[in-house]
Each structure stands twice: as C-alpha cells, then as structure tokens.
Amino acid sequence: MKLAVIGLGLIGGSIALTLKKNEFADQVIGIDKSEEHCRRALELGIADTIFPLEAGIREADIIVLAVPVDAAAEMLPRILDMCGKQVILDAGSTKVSVERAAANHPKRGRFVATHPIWGTEFSGPDAARTDEMKGRLTVICNPERSDKDALEIVEALYRSLGMNIVYQDAENHDLHAAYVSHISHLTSFALALAVLDKEKEEEQIFRLAGAGFQSTVRLAKSNPDTWVPIFKDNRSNVLDVLNDQIFFLRQMKKLIEMEEYETLHKLLTDANRIKGIIN
C-alpha cells in the first residue's frame, strides 16, 4: 500500500511513521511546500521519497491531507480532480469546511472526513512520534457520504494506528471540538499573554511556575499557523464558547471582589463535577 502524506508535520509525520512501522504502508510519499520539511522527513524516515503534488497523488493508493484546515479546504477539490480510485482522508480539527469543499464534487465518495484527536504543542517533522495515537479517539464525519470501500480502508488505517473510532456529522463535530479543544488553546494563549505582560514587572514569576501553570500554559506553545485557521474556520462555535467562559470568569471575579467566598466555593464545587466526566 502506497501512502502519500501531504503535510509532513506532527500529525502527517506521526501517521506515516506508525503506518510504516506497522507495515500498513509499504512506501510513504512525502509532499510538502517546505523544502526543509521534505529534507527532514527523508532524514527522519517519515517519507521514503518526495514527490510534487500531482505526481505523488498519481502514485499513491491512500492520500493523507495533513495541512492547516484552510489549506485543506482549498486543496481538496484539486486533489479529487487528480484522483482515480485513490482514497483521500484529511486530519483537520474542523470538518464543516472540508465537507463543503467536497460536497458537489463527482468524486466525493473517495474522500473520508476524519479528525484524529491527538497532538502536542510541537510542530514540524521533528515533532512526529510513533505509536502515540494508540488508544486515542478518531472521529469519522458523515461516513454515509463516502464510498464503502474508501470508508473501510480508512477505518483499517485508523485501527492500524491503534485508535478508537466514533462517527459524527460535521456540524456536531465542530461544535463539540470548540468546547473540548479549541477553547483550551485560546485559554492557554490568553494566560501566556497575561503572564508575559506581568513578567515585564516581575522577573521572578517564571521561577515560581508550578505544575498547574505548566500544564495550563503548555498549549500556548502551539503553532499559530495551525490555530488561527482553526479559530477562523470554527468562528461561530468558538465565539459561543468564549462568551460562556467569559461569563463564568466575570462571575468568579465579582465573587472575589465582593468577598463572597461561600458562593465561590459552591461554584468551584460545581466545577468539580468535571472529574466524573474526564475520569
């Protein structure tokens, strides 16, 4: 099975490394606009060869589109134009835009919209890891719109990665992703900005940073080239979630200002219910 990976960064690189290790892919064709990414992908064994877009698609059996979500929506119709019986899957954090991009294409059935829910704050080929997706969740959106054989191949690919598969429509996926992923990144970016601003006055602040700060701000290391397109693409849902979060932040601020600590305690206790969900 020949795998073409468009976008040789964290996600595309990790998929390629693991599928090569598992022998799901006999050969990985790398495609990336960055010459540096192509060079590193060859050095790290992510890709066996580097091809231009059209030649790589022509040679491949499966195409993994692992680029920022705005680029994926722009590229997908062109990739479908170049395809015969190849299977295409994307790995983006939003799904409505790619679904719309492919919706009226005569080869729509060759595309499977997916979101492997795994990642780190690092980016580029050097961030790629083997077997890190094992036990994680991947979402396949609108499976009824894909050809039966294309869907089966993509399901087998994710099973080879060790991932558990769930199915959703694209609209629900993007709403839920805003709550459980996108808002976390926005919160982390905002906290990092607040602390960096404070650090101008208090140089020692980072020496006091404990595990709580480290874990909360970790996502602020994430690549803006990845996340700005996500926030733009999922703008409506992200704004709804932001409004909810701002409401509760203002409520906590008011309770502290008014020294209503008993009410604050009740609010925080209510927040503790998240333990039952996450655990």
The string of pLDDT tens digits covering residues 182-194 is 999 999 999 888 8
Contact 21, 130 (CB under 8 A): yes
| 165-179 pLDDT, tens digit each | 999 999 999 999 999
Spatial distance between the Cα atoms of 164 and 148, rounded to a whole number of angstroms: 19
Task: List, for residues 234-248, the tens digit of each pLDDT value.
Answer: 999 999 999 999 999
Strand residues in 75-184 grouped as ranges (E): 87-90, 111-117, 137-141, 164-168
Q: Is residue 142 within 8 Å of residue 170, measured between CB atoms?
A: yes
pTM value is 0.88
Q: At 163, list the tokens.
A: 């991932």
CB 76 within 8 A of CB 57: no
Specify which residues 141 forms β-bridges with. 113, 168
Structure confidence by residue, pLDDT tens digits, 11-33: 999 999 999 999 999 999 999 99
Question: Can you tell me the distance from the alpha carbon of 205 to that of 127, in angstroms, rounded to the nearest whole number?
Answer: 28
Fold for the domain defined by 173-278: 6-phosphogluconate dehydrogenase C-terminal fold (1.10.3660)
State the chain's mean pLDDT as an integer. Answer: 93
Can 2-168 and 173-278 be said to share one CATH topology? no
Domain range summary for the chain, segments of one domain joined by +: 2-168, 173-278
- Express each pLDDT in 38-71 by its tens digit: 999 999 999 999 999 999 999 999 999 999 999 9
Statement: 2-168 belongs to CATH 3.40.50.300: no
CA dihedral over 168, 169, 171, 172, signed as positive or negative: negative
67: left (phi over 0), alpha (psi -120 to 50) or beta: beta
- At 116, is the secondary structure helix, strand, or coil? strand
Q: What is the pLDDT of residue 197?
A: 77
CA–CA separation, 69 vs 58, rounded Å? 23
- What lies within 8 Å, CB to CB, of 165 at 6+ separation is 137, 138, 139, 140, 155, 158, 159
